[in-house]
Amino acid sequence: MRKVRMVLVLVLLMMMLSLISVAIAKEPSGPPGPKHWVSARADYWEEVWQNGERHYLAVWDEPYGHNPHFHGLGGDRVTCCNTHRCIGNWTWWLTHPKSKLGVPKSFRNFCGVPFGSKNIHNYSATVWMD
């Protein structure tokens, strides 16, 4: 009986020590560090030529862009012109080291102009902040 009690006490002691060590090893929680996801406005336009055709890219200096949005008059829904799909389906040309979203010419230069389609700051996306 004494041996059983002794083993039980030792097991309980080891469990308590392991819980204490886990609590000590855990980092304190606080505000997000320098590496986290943020919603950011695009930084600038970039024009690229491919096969003799001009393309417009909204560029973020941060990587891994996704979940784009339009903040001009009418929001995301006005990006759904007849000639292309809505902003959530537009093509990311590059996501590292910068994020580059292809903005359809038909939206940027025609159907989106009354809504602010040429203003780079009307475009946002979720990016990784280093």
In a domain, 15, yes or no: no
In a domain, 24, yes or no: no
Distance CA 55, CA 47 (A): 6
Residue percentage of the chain with pLDDT more than 90 = 67
Query: Is the pLDDT confidence value at 3 over 80?
Result: no
Distance CA 16, CA 60 (A): 49
What's the mean pLDDT when you consider all of the chain?
Answer: 85
Q: Per the confidence metrics, is the pTM higher than 0.75?
A: no
Give the count of domains, the chain: 1
Domain with 103, as residue range(s), is 36-129
The pLDDT value given to residue 89: 96
Residue 84: pLDDT band with limits 50, 70, 90: confident
Q: What is the pLDDT of residues 18-62, one digit of tens each?
A: 655 444 444 444 445 568 999 999 999 999 999 999 999 999 999
How many CB atoms neighbour CB 121 within 10 A? 13
In a domain, 14, yes or no: no
In a domain, 22, yes or no: no
In a domain, 96, yes or no: yes
> What's CA 16's distance to the chain center, in Å?
41
Query: Is the pLDDT confidence value at 107 over 70?
Result: yes
Residues 111, 102 contacting (CB under 8 angstroms): no
Residue percentage of the chain with pLDDT more than 70 = 74
Beta bridge partners of residue 99, listed in sequence order: 60
Task: Give the position of tokens 């004494």.
Answer: 2
Query: Is the pLDDT confidence value at 96 over 50?
Result: yes
In a domain, 95, yes or no: yes
